[in-house]
Structure 1
């Protein structure tokens, strides 16, 4: 008689996180454990299944063919386990999370979707705003956690990553010599806008704002349409616009830190937040 493999939910969750992040380091951070522990869990899962799920080299982590086939089932397995655990808890859990507009990248919807699949019982309220506004809300107790760009007057918070900024425009954007640089930017309260305009002033580059406000998505739309140049984090710059600082002779922009502020105390909510935070730990390299 064939013996059925019994799966360990912790090992399956470790596999899903390694697959999602393509990194043992980030999976370990999400689970608040070590890379060695993740390797042990994954080895145990592979032994149970009798299949190699992850191909790992010094520079690359990727799914094997069997791992790719198993990933969807693994997600369902983890989600079913979380729903079962949630059914034993009478009180729903929730937390409010703020993410700065210049920090939330295009991968955010996917990350939130995966986070929900890991913990369907947790209701997360997400607010996208300027860093300063989110910090004010966090200090008032309106937010349980905030992932923001560090403001000059704040030294607290947990540093997650260094964020690089550049000057972005559409590939066909033209700037005529002698004319003021056309800018698209967020509101005057945006720290990135202030850094960018100070850098232009210090370099003696004249500028004019032709598109202001509406959030990062609106600024990117203006840039993509060829209306202006914008100072953007590489994390949020989408495919289709290019870095034009060197071509236009614009001053370099300083990097800043992505910082986490949190008052979450219960283990389940903190674990869910770690899963999301791990995505910000390693800054995506700029594309050429």
Structure 2
């Protein structure tokens, strides 16, 4: 005998009514209207050929048939959920560390691009110094890091070579006879170490006047007129100017942006490829 199957939405409506004791609350739980819930129940009762719910002006009560059907209804919904779970797309997590000197103002747009590539991917991003992030990567705490070239490392994929300069606020002037006031990030920042080494080799006396916990803080110190900072142009505060030539400061080399990853799965790899391409465009632009 070919018997029509039960409507699972109707079965769910019945269970919600039984559990919540109200057509109104059942409708709210199912994000629909009370009329729609009543119609679903009516069709289920017609399909089963019996009344499942006794309606009174003050409350809702299951009939004897309804009481007997409730456990079976719950089992039917649970079996349906288990079957669907076999085919559900698991949400994968991609944990990325990005150097503070690399993250930049483009980061929100880059995250949006990754999300557009795979909306079901859980993206976790940590910002820090290149050295700290590489250590976390080596401890397998991060899936991927995008960092500056770090001393003692020759691995990683080079995404781009980024120009750096010596920047200060417009109109800033160094006081005669005083060492160069430098705004830097805290150790173990590789850019900080490079800037200090180049100044020492060139015989330029300098002193730290500001140490920031990130590039944003260093850029703020430059804007405030505290001194000079070694920064990439895309990290600059509005209006900052390169004072390297005017102060006869040593040239800063282009610094590579490197990608280190152990990701091999297709989905996160595709999202990572979108991020890497976006960084290439941002840095080269």
- TM-score between the two structures when normalised by the length of structure 1: 0.66
Cα distance in 2 for residues equivalent to 1:157 and 1:285: 18
Match of residue 217 from structure 1: 216
Match of residue 140 from structure 1: 139
**CA distance 1:253–1:259, shift in 2 (3 Å):** same
Contact persistence 1:168–1:232 (CA under 8 A): yes
Contact persistence 2:220–2:237 (CA under 8 A): no
Which is worse superposed, 140-149 or 247-256? 247-256
Match of residue 42 from structure 1: none
Cα distance in 2 for residues equivalent to 1:116 and 1:285: 23
Match of residue 240 from structure 1: 239
Q: SS at 2:234's partner residue?
A: coil
1:12-51 counterparts in 2 under 5 A? Answer: none
1:165-204 counterparts in 2 under 5 A? Answer: 165-204=164-203
What is the aligned-residue RMSD (CA, Å)?
1.7
1:275-286 counterparts in 2 under 5 A? Answer: 275-282=274-281, 284=283
Q: CA deviation at 1:152?
A: 2.3
Cα distance in 1 for residues equivalent to 2:284 and 2:167: 15
Q: CA deviation at 1:138?
A: 0.3
**CA distance 1:156–1:125, shift in 2 (3 Å):** same
The Cα offsets for residues 31-82 of structure 1, whole Å up to 9 and x where unpaired, read as: xxxxxxxxxxxxxxxxxxxxxxxxxxxxxxxxxxxxxxxxxxxxxxxxxxxx
Q: SS at 2:260's partner residue?
A: strand
Q: SS at 1:264's partner residue?
A: coil
Q: CA deviation at 1:285?
A: 5.7
Cα distance in 1 for residues equivalent to 2:146 and 2:283: 17
1:79-94 counterparts in 2 under 5 A? Answer: 89-94=88-93
Match of residue 273 from structure 2: 274
Cα distance in 2 for residues equivalent to 1:266 and 1:91: 13
Contact persistence 1:106–1:238 (CA under 8 A): no
Cα distance in 1 for residues equivalent to 2:210 and 2:274: 36
Match of residue 103 from structure 1: 102
Cα distance in 2 for residues equivalent to 1:144 and 1:166: 31
Q: SS at 1:102's partner residue?
A: helix
Query: Which ranges in structure 2 are unaligned for 5 or more consecutive residues?
Result: 1-85
Q: CA deviation at 1:238?
A: 3.7
Q: SS at 1:177's partner residue?
A: coil
Contact persistence 1:163–1:283 (CA under 8 A): no
- In the TM superposition, structure 1's runs of 4+ consecutive aligned residues that sit over 6 Å from their partners are none
Contact persistence 1:212–1:219 (CA under 8 A): yes
Cα distance in 1 for residues equivalent to 2:169 and 2:209: 15
Contact persistence 1:161–1:283 (CA under 8 A): no
**CA distance 1:93–1:250, shift in 2 (3 Å):** same
- TM-score between the two structures when normalised by the length of structure 2: 0.67
Query: Which ranges in structure 1 are unaligned for 5 or more consecutive residues?
Result: 1-86
**CA distance 1:88–1:168, shift in 2 (3 Å):** farther
Aligned residues: 200
**CA distance 1:285–1:118, shift in 2 (3 Å):** closer
Say which one has the larger Rg. Answer: 2
Match of residue 158 from structure 2: 159
Q: CA deviation at 1:113?
A: 1.9
